[in-house]
Structure 1
């Protein structure tokens, strides 16, 4: 299956992400703008002058992807998006916070304001059980609410409830589009197979090349099924730069060899 142009990333682009971090905010609804000298999350030793331009305390963001084969989820030549999770700078993490309101109508909000985003999410941001709406509500309410720059107070007087939800999902999808796990593995000769097995070191090397920093690789038993990429953010979530970094914590395991990467 040919990926649409929206997701067609070249390997040269993947290798350059650490030099050219995501900077633009694809969501025109966002009211947030920050100065160019905004501090980078988890790397600031003094108090930030504007909390709406500095992600704290959850300053390390994990872009998490899944490869689900039982049942098979998503295109057979793409990993799927699981979420964008704010971790504290020591690798621990908050959940179900109060920085932003909880919402239970994610599909309706995005459909009304960013229908193209919703179409992409319906193809690539998929659960392995339950409904899309329940999954997206879970990701927002558990993780999105912990990103302080998404607080309604960080928006201008034109703010409408739900703007922060569109920003969160827009930025997460945009980041996912720069992290083509399937292509990175294939370039290293690691492709889905019912018979082949792979070494963890080879998988790790291939995925470390995506950002130039360490990726976290996860397995269910001996089956490859997760990849996590870590970022700090310069400025706000809405419009800041995602700066690749090594993970602050480790939470996944795979065997050293004999790893299966099953086809969908």
Structure 2
């Protein structure tokens, strides 16, 4: 009997539909300067401010923001990233890091109750269309305290989902979110403040990055996709890696890179789903990448273990 759909797989289609629809620009009157890192790309230090301190002193009152509503308006027939040889509006064309990888973990340990059947988000990473990548860029500002920014813009629901499904294997979730944003999101050009025009307020790009990344993640229920094909965690079985790869690539419609841990690289640990973007990161269409490219090979053995999670919480 086929397993029942998880809550995340049910919500996936709704979340993706919402994330694809351009919304009317809303009025966001208050700055979020206390959360803003340096705008000078040559500066490497950042300033940390807690939400309690900012709100308590009246510096950064809570400001509603509809995710993706501040994104640039882009033509529906614009070029697809990594597939265009002519110049394009930089706010409507992801460049140079035009191939996006939505990465997931299977940690072998539950971090919160009820997550025994959940893969978790790791990040949304841009590469340079050739398997290489930039990191800690100056295309967008760097930020500290992602939680405070999301709370400031009334993104409690998104924050709740992230706290369950975008969790750190080591250290705190906050540290993981800051690392993922500052290492990867700062290299995505359409998140630049200039792309938001006069309505830009510091932190809008943070909301949009995590909204878009998590919206894509909710479409990709790796556990359910494998379970539908009879591939479920087991302490005794091993599985043919090629079969797992085929299942996930049919499920997503594009390339999937698998990574494994363990001394023999035989413990299934990560799945990277590969996409191009047609338009901006914020409002564009994610197009599954069907091509092979440098760096698209995983590191797994031919047969792998897919181990059940252990309780950690």
TM-score (norm 2): 0.76
Query: Larger relative CO (CA 8 A, sep 6+): 1 or 2?
Result: 1
Which runs of structure 2 are paired with 1:5-24 in the superposition (5 Å)? 5-8=7-10, 23-24=20-21
Partner Cα distance (2:176, 2:225) in 1? 27
Decide which moves more: 1-10 or 86-95.
1-10
For 1:83, the equivalent position in structure 2 comes to 123
8 Å contact from structure 1 (residues 184, 209) kept in 2: no
8 Å contact from structure 1 (residues 52, 148) kept in 2: yes
The runs of 4+ residues in structure 1 deviating greater than 6 Å are 1-4
8 Å contact from structure 2 (residues 9, 220) kept in 1: no
Equivalent position to 2:283, from 195, 219, 239: 239
8 Å contact from structure 1 (residues 73, 80) kept in 2: no
Partner Cα distance (2:93, 2:6) in 1? 34
Partner Cα distance (2:86, 2:68) in 1? 31
Which runs of structure 2 are paired with 1:14-163 in the superposition (5 Å)? 23-24=20-21, 27-48=67-88, 50-69=89-108, 71-73=109-111, 75-113=115-153, 114-163=155-204
For 1:173, the equivalent position in structure 2 comes to 214
Structure 1, unaligned stretches of length 5 or more? none
Q: Is 1:184 aligned with 2:225?
A: yes
Residue-pair matches, total:
253
For 1:253, the equivalent position in structure 2 comes to 299
TM-score (norm 1): 0.90
Q: 1:213: how far off? A: 1.9
Q: 1:205: how far off? A: 1.1
Pick the structure with greater CA Rg: 2
Partner of 1:81: helix, strand, or coil?
strand
Structure 2, unaligned stretches of length 5 or more? 23-65
| TM-aligned CA distance change 1:164 to 1:3, over 3 Å | farther
Q: Once superposed, what is the RMSD of the aligned Cα atoms?
A: 2.2
| TM-aligned CA distance change 1:251 to 1:134, over 3 Å | farther
Output one character per residue of 1:125-157: Cα deviation in whole Å (capped at 9) or x when no partner: 011001111100000000000000000010021
Q: Is 1:209 aligned with 2:250?
A: yes
For 2:26, the equivalent position in structure 1 comes to none
8 Å contact from structure 1 (residues 31, 156) kept in 2: no
Q: 1:109: how far off? A: 0.4
Q: 1:4: how far off? A: 6.3
8 Å contact from structure 1 (residues 9, 180) kept in 2: no
Partner Cα distance (1:134, 1:40) in 2? 32
Partner of 1:134: helix, strand, or coil?
helix
Q: 1:6: how far off? A: 4.8
Q: 1:76: how far off? A: 1.0
Q: 1:77: how far off? A: 1.1
Partner Cα distance (2:110, 2:8) in 1? 22
